Amino acid sequence: MKTETAKELLAAHAGTEDPVILPRSVLDSLCVTDIPPDTSIEIGTPGSKVIRLEWSGRLYADSGVIKAEAGSVWYRKYWYAPLGLEHYLDLVKRAIEVRQKHRGDVKLTHFDDDGAFIQMYYEIDSHESNLGKAFKVIEQISHELEEVAKQTSHTVGRQVSDVARRVSGWGTQPLDQLVEAVEKATSPDEKGRSLEELVSRLLETIDGFIIISRIRTETEEIDIEVLNDSSDARFKRESALLLVECKNWSSKCGKNEFVIFKEKIENRSARCSLGFLVSWNGFKATLTKEMLRGSKEETLIVPMIGKDIRAAVRDDNFADVLTGCWQKAVNT
């Protein structure tokens, strides 16, 4: 979007309730004087059918600087994170109150818990007049306010996952027997869990990879998360967080599964840029076409199939197989 187009949109929405959707790329060329009174901005990419928002909140001009209203309405019946919703938001609320007292750049504006849902909104003062600089400050503050709550939720999730793994006998089968279990599994749960265990245990053999299995957030379920502290030159340049999706289907995975997995990767607050999509029975041709379409993007998805993993177990060379699949994806 061009700067003039953005200014025209802002002028056309002056005083209206609907926010102006602007992409991140145009923000540096706008300042507080370009925002009409009573006009708000959301950051995202408008499309023909859907709008992809990059941050949950609205920006507006106030007293010569850019401020933002952040927060949302959370429904308990749609909350799936390991840490309860009230406990999660209580940690965020406490972080806001402490920062308000000591720094004065945030302010809790609304908090209401009626049992079915919780509403929480807060104001962030960027102290900046340039929209690009302001959004960077606002985004960073917003991340810091939820940092402890997210970390606590991940910690609870890891503890629950570890207990579930011990109870289910995780790690008791040799890898070659686990490959057979993946092949012979009949129920969807057996198929999924056997493949997740096999892939997790193989990933644990990679120096610097710390595995977190089956993480549920408030919006989605992740098969495997990997904390990346690898010293290998190929993985060291990748993101600190890696995601793995396992599909032990009788059919092949295609474009739809690739797109959904890519959205999960991009929904990690810019902390993840690499994912491994494991499909035991291979991929459709549509996947390669989709990979070619996004080959210039930062996000990289590495496809892996059952044949690769069986060979890695047989030859005891999973590190070589993993880096080979990574290299092939890079060159696609």
Query: Domain containing 208 — which CATH number?
Result: 3.40.1350.10
Stretch 23-49: mean pLDDT: 86
What is the C-alpha separation between 146 and 92, in angstroms, rounded?
5
The encoded tokens of residue 189 equal 């749960």
Nearest 10 degrees: CA dihedral of 241, 76, 135, 300? 30
Question: What is the total residue count of the chain?
Answer: 332
Least confident of 57-61, 88-92, 238-242: 238-242
DSSP classification of residue 19? P
Contact (Cβ atoms closer than 8 angstroms) between residue 246 and residue 276: no
Q: Are 35 and 121 found together in one domain?
A: yes
Same domain, 21 and 138: yes
Confidence of residue 269 (pLDDT cuts 50, 70, 90): low
Domain membership flag for residue 204: yes
Residue that the structure tokens 């300042």 belong to = 31
Neighbours of 72 (CB within 10 A): 11
Could you tell me the pTM of the whole model? 0.60
Are 278 and 262 spatial neighbours (Cβ–Cβ below 8 Å)? no
Q: Is residue 188 one of the residues assigned to a domain?
A: yes
User: Quick check: is 127 in a domain?
Assistant: yes
Domain co-membership, 191 together with 142: no
Q: Would 165 be classed as within a structural domain?
A: no
One domain for residues 141 and 278: no
Residue 101 lies in a domain: yes
Same domain, 23 and 68: yes
> Among the three residues 100, 135, 159, which one is the final residue of a domain in this structure?
159
The yes-or-no verdict on residue 47 having pLDDT over 70 is: no
From residue 328, give the alpha-carbon distance in Å to each of 99, 107, 276, 300. Answer: 47, 49, 12, 11
Q: How confident is the model at residue 294 (pLDDT cuts 50, 70, 90)?
A: low
Q: Kindly state whether residue 145 falls inside one of the protein's structural domains.
A: yes
Q: What one-character-per-residue DSSP string does 197-240 give?
A: HHHHHHHTTSTTEEEEEEEE-SS-EEEEEEEE---SHHHHTS-S
Residues 224 and 310 in one domain: yes
Domain final residue pick, 159, 190, 220: 159
Asked whether residue 36 falls in the same domain as residue 112, the answer is yes
Backbone phi, psi, residue 163, to 5°: -65, -45
- Tell me: do 99 and 247 sit in the same domain: no
The verdict on 152 and 184 lying in the same domain is no
Q: Are 198 and 179 in contact (CB under 8 A)?
A: yes
pLDDT, position 171: 66
CB of 196 within 8 A of CB of 225? Answer: no
Tens of pLDDT along 117-153?
999 999 999 999 999 999 999 999 998 998 898 888 8
The answer on 310 and 179 residing in a single domain is yes
Q: Are residues 139 and 280 in the same domain?
A: no
167 falls within a domain: no
Domain total in the chain: 2
Domain end, chosen from 131, 159, 187, is at 159
Tell me the residue range of the domain where 250 lies: 172-330
Chain segment 66-103, per-residue pLDDT in tens: 999 998 889 888 887 778 889 999 999 999 999 999 99
User: For residue 164, is it within any domain?
Assistant: no
User: pLDDT confidence of 273, banded at 50, 70, 90?
Assistant: confident
Rounded Cα distance between 242 and 248, Å, is 20
- Are residue 198 and residue 93 in the same domain, yes or no? no
